[in-house]
Amino acid sequence: MARVREPAAGGIPASESGDGSRRYTHRAAGGPEATPVSAQPRHDHPGSRADATDATRQPLGTAGTGSAPLAETRNAWIRSVVAVLAIGAGGVQAAAAGTVGVESGLYMAFFLGVATAQVLWGAILIARSPGWLVVAGAAGNLVILGTWVLSRTAGVPVGPSAGVALPVGFPDAVSAMFEAAIVIGSLALVLGHANPQTSLGRAPVAATLAAVVIVIAVAVAAVLAQLGAIGFLPAGA
């Protein structure tokens, strides 16, 4: 049986239960008696505190759930621009096949082969971007870029211009810049683990349109210069 002790300060009686814990009855003056409250320390269930902690804890690498959509948007934009760059570079190479290629069947085959590969690769990249395709495109454009650098420094080892350092023209400089950008963009896609299934519709419309318009305008100017339609821009050799 609980023993009733003397009223505590404020006129609130206290009782002590058989287990030694003290129970206090809180009652406002003139109000109804409230439920007794134990002064014994509360011991929460061990799992409840752990569950609350786990609910607010995020695993490493998952902080900021907006990072995944942002990466997909960036990769979609890069993929769009790289694809257009490849098609533009292929157009310049095709124009070179119709001008420089007439000097040699070997040069004609080279420029037509490069133009076809670049245009097809860019068109496929618009639909899908599997890692092996991106890597293959980067490697191929790096080889083409290296061939151009060799032709403008020491000269290519075969053909009518063997061993002759050719001058830099506007069209071939544009093609070389496109190919360098393709290599950089492809590496960004590979290192960024771009999802090959990501739709290009995720790319920001304004930024994508601006990049595409600029690339197409420069490519068209390079093609026209190679064909001799723009007199103040030197054609490539």
pLDDT score of 64: 43
What pLDDT score was predicted for residue 226?
Answer: 92
Convert the pLDDT of each residue in 182-233 to its tens digit. 999 999 999 887 777 777 888 889 999 999 999 999 999 999 999 988 877 7
pLDDT at 65: 46
Confidence tier at 5 by pLDDT (50, 70, 90): low
Task: Note the pLDDT of residue 94.
Answer: 95
- The predicted-structure confidence for 54-82, as pLDDT tens digits, reads as follows 444 544 434 444 566 888 888 889 999 99
Q: What stretches of 39-195 show up as alpha helix (H) in DSSP?
A: 46-56, 67-99, 105-127, 131-153, 170-191
Residue range 36-47, pLDDT digits in tens? 555 555 555 555
The average pLDDT across 137-148 equals 96
Phi first, then psi, for residue 168 (nearest 5°) are: -85, 125
Q: In what order do the strands lie in the sheet with 37-38?
A: 3-4, 14-16, 22-24, 37-38
Q: What are the residue ranges spanned by the domains of the chain?
A: 69-226
Please report, in angstroms and rounded to a whole number, the separation of the first and last CA atoms in the chain.
110
Rounding to the nearest 10 degrees, give the CA dihedral for residues 147, 151, 155, 157: 30
Contact 170, 204 (CB under 8 A): no
The reported pLDDT for the residue numbered 59 is: 44
Inter-residue contact 36 to 23 (CB < 8 Å): yes
Report the length, in residues, of the chain: 237
- Of 133-137, 146-150, 217-221, 226-230, which range is least confident? 226-230
Question: Does residue 236 contact residue 96 with C-beta atoms inside 8 Å?
Answer: yes
- pLDDT for the residue numbered 103: 81
For residue 76, how many other CB atoms are within 10 A of its CB?
21
